[in-house]
Structure 1
Amino acid sequence: MNDLFSDLDCGIVARLADNAVAETLSGEQPWHAHPIFAGVALKHLVTGAQTGGRFSAHLVRLEPGAEIGDHLHEASWELHEVAAGSGRCLLGGRPIDYAPGVAAVLPQNVPHSVRAGLDGLRLLAKFVPALL
């Protein structure tokens, strides 16, 4: 598959002025199982330590049928960009169908959840200010 998610996962990135960020974006970054939600893994591309807390970016991989349950971020806005797969986000009780090319803005303090469809789901999630 030749898409943004796969490219980032393999470490294919544009040249960046900040070598610390370029190193972080390499394919050597590990996947981390989500500490709460089964079937969900994260790869931290850019963290608040590298941006002075301004933003963070993460690849999110949900296995088929996996769910990131209802939660909110008190201090951060979140942007989801769907790279592959399908699913649904419930944002403040309102459903948003997720498919490649869909982007969703999730305001701070608004409860949301994400469930992957039968083919799983791949997201690029960005947080302002940084989540991690």
Structure 2
Amino acid sequence: MPETAARLVIRQPGEAPGFWQPVPANGFVRCLLDPAVTGAENPFAMGTQTVDPGCHIREHLHDAHEEVILVQEGEGEARIDGAAHPMRPGTCLFLPRNLPHSFHNTGQGPLTLLWLILPGGLETFFARIGRPRAEGEPPPAPFPRPADVARIEAETVFGRLPA
């Protein structure tokens, strides 16, 4: 077998770093895999994000990253470049660079998305804007995004939306 810096990673439920997320998403993120953990030759990051009912992931784009979303639980709507698309378990989306998108929980329960971003970096954003979360702990009261969120976005995986 060829030499590689990549290594086997197996994470059981509750073993991945988690972060409570601020409004408007609320809910939480689990950062399952990232380049620092895997050493993958083609760096990526993967995790889940759970969005509370009535909440949403604000419109954004990734100017240097491609993203895959797979709906695991719940119902929602993806708004992509001005068009609305229903989301339910099994819905899969590939989002190329520079495509504005947002996700809205329109259901009665949590909306859980599996996300994969290439290259990695989304895990860093979630850690910097969120608060550490332990598996099974009760959610905190809703809290605002950091005042310097624009700087955090610029330093991680987000581009600027068209004016």
Greater Rg, structure 1 or structure 2? 2
Q: Is the 8 A contact 2:49 2:114 kept in 1?
A: yes
Q: Is the 8 A contact 2:17 2:32 kept in 1?
A: no
Aligned residues: 113
What is the root-mean-square deviation of aligned Cα atoms in Å? 1.9
> TM-score under structure 1 normalisation?
0.76
Structure 2 unaligned spans of 5+: 1-5, 124-163
Tell me the distance in 2 between the aligned counterparts of 1:36 and 1:52: 35
Structure 1 unaligned spans of 5+: 1-16
Map of 2:21 onto structure 1: 34
Structure 2 residue 38 is matched with structure 1 residue 48: no
- Going from structure 1 to structure 2, the CA distance change for 1:53 and 1:65 (only over 3 Å counts) comes to farther
What is the percentage of aligned positions where both structures have the same residue?
29
> TM-score under structure 2 normalisation?
0.63
Q: How does 1:1-132 map to 2 (within 5 A)?
A: 18-19=7-8, 21-22=9-10, 25-27=11-13, 28-35=15-22, 37-49=24-36, 50=38, 51-52=40-41, 54-117=43-106, 118-131=108-121, 132=123
Q: Name the SS for the 2:62 alignment partner.
A: coil
Aligned-pair CA distance for 1:36: 5.8
Aligned-pair CA distance for 1:48: 2.2
Tell me the distance in 2 between the aligned counterparts of 1:83 and 1:77: 20
User: Which 4+ residue blocks in structure 1 deviate beyond 3 angstroms?
Assistant: 35-38
> Which residue identity does 1:91 align to in structure 2?
I
Aligned-pair CA distance for 1:35: 4.9
More strand by share: 1
